[in-house]
Structure 1
Amino acid sequence: MQLTDALFNWLQIQIVWEARSSDRSARDTVLFFEEILREDHQVEKLEKKIDGDHYVIKYEQNGSAKSQTYPREAAEKLLKDILAEPKYNQSFE
């Protein structure tokens, strides 16, 4: 998996997990992508922030500070799709 794809997938599911903190599947998927980023791409210290119409992911790769930007609408699409589907909106408590 390409680094940019792994970062984007991590970002999308991280957004879902933050909105649905009791969703264990979202948590497990976040951890899965963090493992891919760490083991396959030597990425550490992931953090995201919103900057207008974009998300910016800051991270370290092999000791160097880097960043990647993604459109906010695309990053939030997975959450919107999940929220629009009634069968995925059950309680996770």
Structure 2
Amino acid sequence: MRLEDALFNWLQIQLVAEDRPEDRAAADTRDFFLEILTEDHGVSNLLIHKTDDTMVHLKYDKDGRSKLQMYPREAAEQLLADINENPKYN
């Protein structure tokens, strides 16, 4: 899995896990993507640094350097919106 894809997948499920702290599956999935990021890509100190009107900013360390990756906010929040709109998951 490419680094950018793993970061995006982690971001989406992190937003779900934050919004739904009782959702164990979301937390397990978030941890799975974090494991991919740390073990396969050498990422550490990953966090959502900032969210503005249009973008979500991720900060992380890789290869001894601090990195910033941004994703469109609408895309990042889509999984959470889909879950919240489906009564089966509420």
TM interval, shorter chain, is over 0.9
Residue aligning to 1:67: 68
- Counterpart code for 2:52: D
Residue aligning to 1:38: 38
TM-score by length of 1: 0.93
Residue aligning to 1:58: 59
User: How far did 1:51 drift?
Assistant: 2.6
Which whole-Å deviations, capped at 9, do the CAs of 1:46-66 have from their partners, x for residues lacking one? Answer: 011203310000000021100
User: How far did 1:17 drift?
Assistant: 0.5
Aligned-pair identity in percent equals 58
Which whole-Å deviations, capped at 9, do the CAs of 1:19-56 have from their partners, x for residues lacking one? Answer: 00010000000100000000000000001120331000
Say which SS state the counterpart of residue 4 (structure 1) adopts. Answer: helix
Which whole-Å deviations, capped at 9, do the CAs of 1:51-88 have from their partners, x for residues lacking one? Answer: 33100000000211001000000000000000011111
- Counterpart code for 1:67: L
**Unaligned runs of at least 5 residues, structure 2:** none
Report the count of equivalent residues: 89
User: How far did 1:11 drift?
Assistant: 0.2
2:63, 2:33 → 1: CA distance?
A: 18
**Unaligned runs of at least 5 residues, structure 1:** none
TM-score by length of 2: 0.96
What is the RMSD of the two structures over their aligned residues, measured on CA atoms? 0.6
| Divergent runs of 4+, >2 A | none
1:52, 1:85 → 2: CA distance?
A: 25
Say which SS state the counterpart of residue 21 (structure 2) adopts. Answer: coil
1:32, 1:62 → 2: CA distance?
A: 21
- Counterpart code for 1:5: D
- Counterpart code for 1:39: E
Residue aligning to 1:18: 18
1:27, 1:40 → 2: CA distance?
A: 20
